[in-house]
Amino acid sequence: MGWNKLPAQAPARADEISNVKEETVIKVSVLYPNSAGCKFDMRYCLDKHVPMEQQNLGAACKRMAVEEGMAGGAPGAPATYVAMGHLYFDTTDAFQAAFAPHAQAILADIPNYTNTQPTIQISEVKL
Amino acid sequence: MGWNKLPAQAPARADEISNVKEETVIKVSVLYPNSAGCKFDMRYCLDKHVPMEQQNLGAACKRMAVEEGMAGGAPGAPATYVAMGHLYFDTTDAFQAAFAPHAQAILADIPNYTNTQPTIQISEVKL
């Protein structure tokens, strides 16, 4: 899957129009809690939801990632999240501009694969 | 940073000795809660902790990622996690074999950059 080796530092991206000195990448994480009675249809998520999202968000979404919770840190402990999805954008503005017009369609599809209430976090990618 | 485009499906890796039919990648996430009074020294984490981890874990660790929490999903909401770190391995066995001999050194360094108690999750990378 082409895992990157650790870069010494995130490269500056001079090819982008911006007033910000150093360009960043932001990551929107959707964390689905592993609550009692939770359901998560990974097949639907990968085969239907992700391609729909990809089509709606377009080129602004630089990368997507999906993971399935296996375990917690302590021996025998359950995973805190049954699944996690991540969307990468150049900036929060780019995310909002891409997401807003399709928010309703994307959010309305979530109950088709899970009954959990996901926690959303926006992060700046540092490495 | 070489963000990958979405692969249609994770490629099978036939070059690895395993009884498992389809190879997987696992992700160890270290989630630092954004609790009241929490401190997180991102500079130390990136400049000292990550290189030390990288050296100790060796080639078994295929990739590392670090993010800094910016915001939650609702307008004005804080990030659930002040920071997140991720380590990628071929298998949980590979993680445990690489981590166990250095666990003490790696864990003992955590108070040097944060006063939070991180949540650990092991996940299977699906996309």
> Which H helix or E strand runs over B63?
strand B63-72
Give dist(CA B77, CA B71) in Å, integer: 6
Give dist(CA A15, CA B12) in Å, integer: 35
Kindly state the tokens that stand for A98.
Answer: 């891409």
pLDDT in tens, B83-92: 999 999 999 9
User: Looking at chain A from residue 7 to 36, which residues have their Cβ under 8 Å from any Cβ of chain B?
Assistant: 7, 10-11, 25-27, 29, 31
The ipTM value here is 0.82
User: Is A72 close to B121, i.e. CB distance below 8 A?
Assistant: yes
User: Is A84 close to B29, i.e. CB distance below 8 A?
Assistant: yes
Kindly state the tokens that stand for B34.
Answer: 């954004």
> Which H helix or E strand runs over A56?
helix A50-57
Q: Which DSSP string do the residues of B76-112 spell out, in sequence order?
A: TPPPSEEEEEEEEES-HHHHHHHHGGGHHHHHHHGGG
Contacts of A61 (CB under 8 A, 6+ apart): A53, A54, A87, A88, A89, A98
In this structure, the number of other CB atoms found within 10 A of the CB of residue A11 comes to 11
pLDDT in tens, A69-109: 999 998 899 999 999 999 999 999 999 999 999 999 999 99
pLDDT in tens, B43-62: 999 999 999 999 999 999 99
Q: What CA dihedral angle connects A52, A54, A58 and A60, to 10 degrees?
A: 140
Least confident span in B8-22, B60-74, B84-98, B106-120: B8-22
pLDDT surpassing 50 at residue B14: no
Mean pLDDT of chain A: 87
What's the pLDDT at A62?
97
Residue of B67, B88, B127 with shortest CB distance to A126: B67
Share of chain A above pLDDT 90, in %: 80
Q: Average pLDDT, stretch A15-28?
A: 65
Please state the length of chain A: 127
User: Is A2 close to B3, i.e. CB distance below 8 A?
Assistant: no
Backbone angles phi and psi of A36, in degrees to 5:
-60, 130
